Amino acid sequence: MKEEQEDKVLSELFRHKLENAEVIPSPGLGKMLIRRVAWREFLRFNPARFNAWYAGSAAVAGAALVLILTTSPGKDNDPESSTIITRPSATEALNENARGNDAAPETGESVNVRSSQKNAGAGAEKPAAMTEAHEVSGDGPEKIKGVLPSAEVPPVTDGKMLAGGTPGMNKLQKTARKADNIINASVTEGCAPLKVLFTTRSLLFDSCRWSFGDGGYSFEKDPEWIFDVEGEYEVILRGYGEAARQSFSSVMIKVHPNPVARFEIAPENAVIPGDEITFLNYSTDASEYRWDFGDGNSSDQFEPKYSYNRYGNYTVRLIAYSVFGCPDSLVVQNAFGSGYYVRFPNAFIPNPNGPSGGFYTNRSDEDSFVFHPVHSGVAEYQLRIFSRRGMLVFESSDVNTGWDGYYKGQSVEPGVYVWKVRGNYINGEPFTLMGDVTLLKGQ
């Protein structure tokens, strides 16, 4: 019994203290974890990546074979020679025949030979073979030095390279770095959001990391990225090859800002046909405008004025274009009601000095002594007002006669009254409205 209790004390001590205890992980742990996750994801069998994965491996294997075959037999004893030789030879093919070193003319040929052999060997991979070589060269000597332990690549000191008969690698790589571009972007500039499909023409690395310049990154080989925000982004591709070779390439993506299309229709309760409509343009960041008035007519003016020929449910559309041609549009459906309306207030205070008969004009009824609508285009009209008990207290078939709040010359009780109105507008459109109004007592 006692032991059980003790048991409980001990386990409860640990449970309470440690069950939800938090321990702060070491700072680098999260990053390491994410790297591991990415690597696992990459290694995972993925049917979508299946082809690229195997085609890539096959091409790399093919390329390696071709490179080994085409290097001169004298250098074969050096295990690194196959890769080292390709760097200068391929770049030199691009731009450095003129250096006139002993190896230059022959390597110029060898590139062609290589690519044709490649065609025979790995099939339709000519551009890939070329760019692979570029990519390696694009690393620059400093990269190679940095990544590989120097013992592994002893010949990569500039003097030695020159002396060893390979053309001036140092210089070559400087130029090659500029020419080097293994990134293929489906578009390099456009309007936000800009969707860009990146592909890499290189097959020489096993894994890669794209940083898109906006904080996003991807480990896919050919990622698709959407740039939401305007700006210029340097997209950087890092490839990690076998033997810890790294390659690096970048491309600039320019995302143009979007304009904002905005407009207002004036006058506010325009009646069409009849009123001339002004379209007030509040668009920003735009330089060109295209208006569609919805009746088949359009305009390119900044703030067009337009008169419709007949009544209709028009959809007005404004497309604003920025200087880069990025569009934005604003569409207003049913931009104009008929323009006719009847609207009632929900409270009024009858004139305490006695009935007025209900006739009003906007000017004469500044104090809202009369319950009446604001209206436009009313042709036929019948207003009925009931008390809460259902008694008809007022009836009018003249839109210009409202209720003065008196019934048979007597002021009625304050409270809620129900009204119903029906009629037609001058274009024949019928209307039926109902609601309630609170009759307030003046002092």
User: Binding residues for other proteins, how many (CB under 8 A)?
Assistant: 32
Q: According to CB under 8 A, which one of 1, 4, 21, 47 is a site residue for other proteins?
A: 21
Between 41 and 106, CB nearer to other proteins? 41
Quick check: 22 binds other proteins (CB under 8 A)? yes
34 in contact with other proteins (CB under 8 A): yes
422 within 8 A of 432, measured Cβ to Cβ = yes
Match 């009824």 to its residue by tokens. 365
Dihedral sign (CA 369, 373, 377, 382): negative
20 touches other proteins by CB under 8 A = yes
By CB under 8 A, residue 26 contacts other proteins: yes
Q: Residue 183 — φ and ψ, nearest 5°?
A: -95, 135
Distance CA 67, CA 51 (A): 24
Q: Which stretch binds other proteins (CB under 8 A): 31-39, 78-86, 134-142, 280-288?
A: 31-39
Closest by CA position to 135, among listed 75, 90, 166, 105: 90
CB of 190 to other proteins, least distance (A): 24
Query: Shortest gap between Cβ of 55 and other proteins (angstroms)?
Result: 23
Residues 250 and 238: their CA atoms lie apart, in Å, by 9
Q: Is 300 in the site for other proteins (CB under 8 A)?
A: no
Binder among 1, 4, 23, 73 for other proteins (CB under 8 A): 23
Query: Going along 92-229, which residue ranges are E strands?
Result: 183-185, 189-191, 194-200, 207-211, 217-218, 224-227
| Distance in angstroms (rounded) separating the CA atoms of residues 363 and 343 | 17
* Residue 25 makes contact with other proteins by CB under 8 A: yes
State both tokens at 407.
């019934």
Least Å distance, CB 50 to other proteins, is: 17
Residues 6 or more apart in contact with residue 302 via CB below 8 angstroms: 281, 289
Please, which of residues 199-238 interact with other proteins by CB under 8 A? 217
In one-letter notation, the amino acid at residue 5 is Q
The least distance separating other proteins from the CB of residue 244, rounded to whole angstroms, comes to 23
Q: Least Å distance between CB 44 and other proteins?
A: 8
Chain residues 35-54 in contact with other proteins, contact rule CB under 8 A: 36-38, 40-41
Where do contacts with other proteins occur on this chain (CB under 8 A)? 2, 6-7, 9-26, 29-30, 32-34, 36-38, 40-41, 217
